[in-house]
Amino acid sequence: MSKILVGLKRVVDYNVRVRVKPDGSGVVTEGVKMSINPFDEIALEEALRIKEKGGASEVIVASIGPAETQQQLRTGLAMGADRAILVQSEQALEPLSAARVFLKLIEKESPQIVLLGKQGIDDDNNQTGQMLAALWNRPQATFASKIELDGTLARVTREVDAGLETIEVDLPAVLTTDLRLNEPRYVKLPEIMKAKKKPLETLALGDLGVDVAAQFKTLNYAPPPSRQKGIMVKDVPELLATLKQKGLVQ
């Protein structure tokens, strides 16, 4: 196996409380900590472990976003990726457009495995990996909690509604990762310094010849309703009376 391509998405850090803009046009990102999407970080960790076991010779991280996304790619390089590719775009792409961009990178790099997080924590679409596999006309294994490689075969344990399911797919393939696949490594200062010297290639979105026209329009963003204050009751009769008053019981 020669290459593993890993997708990294720049998102608001999962520890940050997301705030909606006053005009409802989106969420506040100015001055907010941005990080690698947690599921994508798990995907990168798995790619690095595969390489360390001799299953790959190179791990490439790729992202689509503004120039500031270089920060997340540098973090990926500090974790251990060999090089990075940034497809620079000021507009947020829908999953199908993102899949088309990754297909262009696949044609350029010819990886054996494409590892993506199962979803982004910003839009929660859970679509890009599946769409990419369809466009690439290659197998897919989603929601992976365990990955085992055997030559040109990948045995993947998936998390499904009924529990766990194990499937085998021929490589090349698209794999998407779930939370329980692994725990990403901690990045140390020496690795951060080394990452500054690793190659980071920037491509213009317009040069790829990809149709990225939006198919959907978001009309408004709104925060979830505030939770109502709880009511203390003295006994069961008072509880039933309160529930009846609110129309929750007959």
pLDDT in tens, the chain (250 residues): 589 999 999 999 999 988 999 888 888 888 899 999 999 999 999 999 999 999 999 999 999 999 999 999 999 999 999 999 999 998 889 999 999 999 999 999 999 999 999 999 998 999 999 999 999 999 999 999 999 999 899 999 998 888 899 999 999 999 999 999 999 999 999 999 999 999 999 999 999 999 998 888 888 998 888 888 888 888 998 998 888 888 888 7
**Separation CA 85–CA 95 (nearest Å):** 18
DSSP code for 25: S
Q: Which of 125, 123, 115, 136 is nearest to 7 (CA)?
A: 115
Q: How far is CA 71 from CA 23, 63, 78, 102, 154, in A?
A: 29, 11, 10, 20, 31
pLDDT for 1: 56
pLDDT in the model for residue 227: 81
Calculate the dihedral angle through the C-alpha atoms of 52, 112, 2, 109, rounding to the nearest 10 degrees: -120
- pLDDT at position 178 is 94
Report the pLDDT value the prediction gives residue 242, as an integer from 0 to 100: 87
Per the CB < 8 A criterion, the answer to whether 140 and 199 are in contact is no
Q: Which residues contact 247 (CB under 8 A, 6 or more apart)?
A: none
Residue in the structure block whose two tokens are 């791990």: 59
State the Rg of the chain over Cα: 22
Tell me what pLDDT residue 48 has: 97
pLDDT confidence of residue 73:
97
Residue extents of the structural domains in the chain? 3-223
Determine contact, residues 115/41, Cβ cutoff 8 Å: no
* Burial of 209 per CB tally in 10 Å (0-12, 13-18, 19+): exposed
Pick the CATH number of 3-223 from 3.40.50.620, 3.20.20.80, 1.25.40.340, 3.40.50.970: 3.40.50.620
